[in-house]
Amino acid sequence: MTKKSAISAWESLFRAQVTVMRTLTAEFPRDADLSLTEYDVLFTISKQQDRSIRMRDLRRQVLLTQPSVSRLVDRLIERGLLSKCPEPDDGRGSIVRLTDAGYELYRHCAVLHGRSIIDHVGSALSPDELAQLEALCEKLRLSVES
């Protein structure tokens, strides 16, 4: 591995991600009155057991700063998309749960957003390339998290 190849690969990955995200953001369902960042929070919680997660774990899994996650969660609670309760094992923490309304809105957006992903990512790569991309991204993510 050369320094040049690592930098070139990173720049290629970064530019592809930015270009695809701009397109996906532009095509994100406007009728839902939900931002892509808010969707990411709902998506993350929807994948958890009982559609709930500790706030500290949510902060680790989304790409926002701690204060931003707290403010965003508070806004989603005000809209009735999330609920929050104290963490039973740690009185200082809290658990955020996806409400039925939040799950329905998430699913509505997920179907439309999924179509956009399939159109732009799925159509550009073969099934083998998609599997390879997923494996490479996971390998890279795990190497940095270690």
Domain membership flag for residue 113: yes
**Each residue of 69-91: pLDDT tens digit?**
889 999 999 999 999 998 888 77
CA angle 4, 122, 142 (to 5 degrees): 50
Residue 140 within any structural domain of the chain: yes
Query: Is residue 48 domain-resident?
Result: yes
Q: Report how many domains make up the chain.
A: 1
Residue 103: name the closest of 69, 80, 78, 73 by CA. 80
Q: Of the ranges 1-15, 59-73, 86-100, 114-128, which is most confident?
A: 114-128
* 15 occurs within a structural domain: no
The token duo for 57 is 């774990």
Parent domain of 79: 30-145
Any domain includes 72: yes
In a domain, 112, yes or no: yes
Region 15-38: what's the mean pLDDT? Answer: 92
Task: Identify the CATH number of the domain in which residue 88 sits.
Answer: 1.10.10.10
Tell me, yes or no, whether 25 lies in a domain: no
106 or 60, higher pLDDT: 106
Q: Is residue 71 part of a domain?
A: yes
Helix, strand, coil share of the chain (percent; to 5): 70, 10, 20
